Structure 1
């Protein structure tokens, strides 16, 4: 079974967020997909199966090292670039429908040169789920209450996954870290993950909830960040801007984001970026189907 290794949210290999894309994963079980993802040790892997007879439509499943995700940003951005490379028929532009188990998304692609593409993922509308009491939130990341941005409240929202967006100021982003597992405190807030955001610098950070791994570039978190800043009037309606992440991992990444709407009515959120092809490979043996 062949796969492609691409770097997402960067225009050059060996930067951005690495991803394994399996463009023809028919027959693989969920346990096999998880085992492959853990073997390759990418932050996430995406597995695709052509959805006949719909033109340009593929079923997609995304796994990280812990299990399957209902939604993710950088795997879908990278997957669409691989589909364009394999099935674009030489066209400079393409459009792809990716059907996840929980939802369907649209991704537009553009050829930028040999082994280079740009993808733009439409994440759909944002759902705002509440503004938690900020007391104690800074401490989850080793920060002080004064490190929080006084002009922007913490908020839980979703464009596919539920994030606590925690705005900070000054050098707080550089000092932030996960000091204890986040699963329980986030669940109390109705969130699954957390995205620490410096709105003034247009930069964010995200970790696994155990704090052991920092994500290089988080498309789902970036979508929430874009929706959040549009709701609070920090960006224009439909204005595209660049959200940066990955500086602290040594793999700087750039995500092009925008959001349409006003107030809590954010109707469309888009996240995109460059995709650089790095390598192709072949699995010589598949995991045990019952693993």
Structure 2
């Protein structure tokens, strides 16, 4: 089976967030896909099974588990599909079927690779955290309640994965997951992951729930944060929001997003550039 290694939210190879896109030539079970993802050791690996010329069933795996949704794998996969099947076109529309959900992505060629826009759909505002919980959340992230920007709420928002959004007025250098069983802790707030951001600079950070691996640029978290910033009047509808992530792991990245309700529902769009690094063939 063929695979491609691309970098997402990236102006050039070996920047941004790495991704492996795999095209199996036969059905694979979950154990094999997880083992392949572990072998590649990217934050995520996406497997594409072609349904029609421009429609694919997608399966996304971290090195720990399968995800029902993720951002940078969909953007990166769209650029790869564009190059393989639609290289003669300036723009291409690709659909992915993922966990019973259809996601439409627009890919456009650029001087450095591809620029891809994903409609993440209507955000779900799941819950706002009560202020009495702020201390335990701050301490779980190696911070103090005084570091939280009280002008904004702690809120769980999802465009496919529910993130606990934590606004900080302090810089993010000391932030880390500092308690065991963090995923269980987050489940108390109906969240799967955490996304911390500085309210002035919009610098962001997130990790796997063991706190061992920091993600470089997280499209599935950027969508909820863009929705949150518009909801709370920090940004305007249709304003392009630039989120920064990855500087703490030496791969600074920019994620762009916006909200648009011109078609009757408020949809969240995430945009990123994709560059190609390598391709090859798996021997298994």
- Aligned-partner SS, 1:137: helix
TM-score, structure 2 as length reference: 0.94
Cα distance, 1:268 vs structure 2: 0.5
The answer for the alignment partner of 2:121 in structure 1 is: 124
- Residue 32 of structure 1 aligns with which residue? 32
State whether structure 2 residue 104 is matched by structure 1 residue 106.
yes
Q: 1:167, 1:199 within 8 Å by CA — same for their partners in 2?
A: yes
The answer to whether the aligner puts 1:178 opposite 2:177 as a matched pair is: yes
Deviation at 1:242, TM superposition (A): 1.2
Aligned partners of 1:246 and 1:207: how far apart in 2? 11
Whether 2:16 is the aligned partner of 1:20: answer no
1: CA distance, partners of 2:99 / 2:162: 17
Q: Is the 8 A contact 1:126 1:266 kept in 2?
A: no
Structure 1 residues 47-58: aligned runs within 5 Å: 47-52=47-52, 55-58=53-56
Distance 1:266 1:180, change over 3 A: farther
Contact 1:227 1:266 in 2 (8 A): no
**TM-score normalised over the length of structure 1:** 0.92
- Cα offsets for 1:68-103 (capped at 9, x unmatched): 100000000000000000011411101110001231
CA distance in 2: counterparts of 1:206 and 1:24, whole angstroms: 30
Gaps of 5+ in 2: none
The match for 1:79 among 61, 77, 80 is 77
Does the Cα contact within 8 Å between 1:222 and 1:271 map onto a contact in 2? yes
The ranges of structure 1 where at least 4 consecutive aligned residues each deviate by more than 3 angstroms after the TM superposition are 23-26
What's 1:188 paired with?
188
C-alpha distance in 2, partners of 1:174/1:151? Answer: 21
Report if the CA contact (8 A) 1:62-1:71 is conserved: yes
Give 1:279's aligned residue.
278
Q: Which residue matches 1:211? A: 211
**Structural RMSD (CA):** 1.6
User: Residues 25, 66 of structure 1: CA spacing in aligned structure 2 closer, same or farther, 3 A cutoff?
Assistant: farther
